[in-house]
Amino acid sequence: ADMQVATPKRTKEIIAKHGFSFKKSLGQNFLIDQNILDKIVSAAKLDKTKGALEIGPGIGALTQKLADAAAVVTAVEIDNRLIPILEEVLEGQEHVEVVHGDVLKLNLQELLERRYKDVTGISVVANLPYYVTTPILMKLLEERLPLEHIVVMIQKEVAERMAAKPGGKTYGSLSVAVQYYCEPELVCTVPHTVFIPQPNVDSAVIKLTLRSEPPVKVEDEDFYFRVVQASFSQRRKTLANNLGAFVGKHNRDKLLELLQACEVDPSRRGETLSLEEFARISEQLRQSDW
C-alpha cells in the first residue's frame, strides 16, 4: 500500500524528490485520500473491458487506481513538469498512456478512436482543474464524444448548479445544458482536507451519465441554447422581459401570444422552466418571423 501516491507522506516525498512546486494558475490541488479516490473510481463502474480517460492526472493519484480498474487508461496533462513524475509512478503499466497537452486544444475524437478500439465503453474520470471545469465539460458534451459516464471532482457550487431542478435557486442555463446531454447525480461532497494544497472552495464529486438521446426534441440545438441563455440573461426578470429583449421590443405582443400558445405564463422567470418548456418555446420562436 505504500506504493499508493495518494497519501500525505508519499505525495510530499514525490514532490520533494522532483523539486515540484504547485501552480495555482493550473488548478493544481492533488488528492491525498484513498477513500475519496475509491469512491470516484467505483462511481465510474469500470471493469477490465472498459476504458478511462483522465484529464489532469497531476502526480498520478487517480491514474494508479484507474490503471487497476480499467483495460485502457489515457491521462492528459498540460504541465510538462509532471510528465517525468507520471512516467515514474506509472512505470511498467503498458495499458496506460500519458499525453502531454491542453485538453481544450486536443482532438479528443481522434484520441478516443486511437486508444479505445477494443473496449466496451469509455468514461471520463477526473479531479478537474477548477478554473476550466465548465469549458472542459461542455467540450466533452458538445463534441458528442462516445462516453458512458463522466465522473468528476469539481467545485461543489458548480456541481449543484449542474444537478439543479427547475425552481431551485441554482437552476440556470448550465443546468439545462448539462441535463440536455446527461443525467446528473451528486456522488458526495468532499472536505478541503483531502487535498494538497487545500483549495479555497468546497468540492463535490458528480456523476454524469450520458443520454443516448436528448430528453427533448429540438430541430436547431444552437437556437434552443440561445433561447435558454436569453431566458436567464437577467435572473430577476420575467420571460416576457428577457425574451422580449431577445426578439425585439416591437415584437412584444407577438411574443406574449406565443408564450400563451405554449402554455407558459409570460410572468414566470426562466428559473422555473423545464427543458421541455424551453423546447416548446424555442420551436415556436424559431418557426415565426420576427
Q: How far is the CB of 50 from ligand SAM (least distance, A)?
A: 19
Residue 130 is given by DSSP the state G
**Cell numbers linked to 164:** 439543479
Q: Which stretch binds ligand SAM (CB under 6 A): 12-20, 50-58, 89-97, 163-171?
A: 50-58
| Residue 69 binding ligand SAM, by CB under 6 A | no
Among 10, 46, 56, 194, binds ligand SAM (CB under 6 A): 56
Q: Is the dihedral of CA 197, 43, 135, 203 positive or negative?
A: negative
Q: 263: annotated binding-site residue?
A: no
Q: Which stretch binds ligand SAM (CB under 6 A): 23-31, 185-193, 213-221, 262-270?
A: 23-31
Q: How far is the CB of 210 from ligand SAM (least distance, A)?
A: 21
Q: Which residue is nearest to ligand SAM (CB)?
A: 56
Q: How far is the CB of 163 from ligand SAM (least distance, A)?
A: 20
Axis-axis angle for helices 239-247, 252-261 (nearest 10): 120
CA pair distance 280, 258, nearest whole angstrom: 10
Q: 200: annotated binding-site residue?
A: no
**Omega within 30 of 0 (cis) for the link into 266:** no
Among 14, 46, 62, 162, binds ligand SAM (CB under 6 A): 62
Nearby residues of 200 by Cβ (< 8 Å), 6 or more positions away: none
**Cα three-residue angle 281-283-285, rounded to 5 degrees:** 65
56: left (phi over 0), alpha (psi -120 to 50) or beta: left
Write out the residues near ligand SAM by the rule CB under 6 A: 26-31, 55-58, 61-62, 76-79, 82, 102-104, 127, 129, 132
Annotated binding-site ranges? 29, 31, 56, 77, 102, 127
Annotated binding-site ranges for S-adenosyl-L-methionine? 29, 31, 56, 77, 102, 127
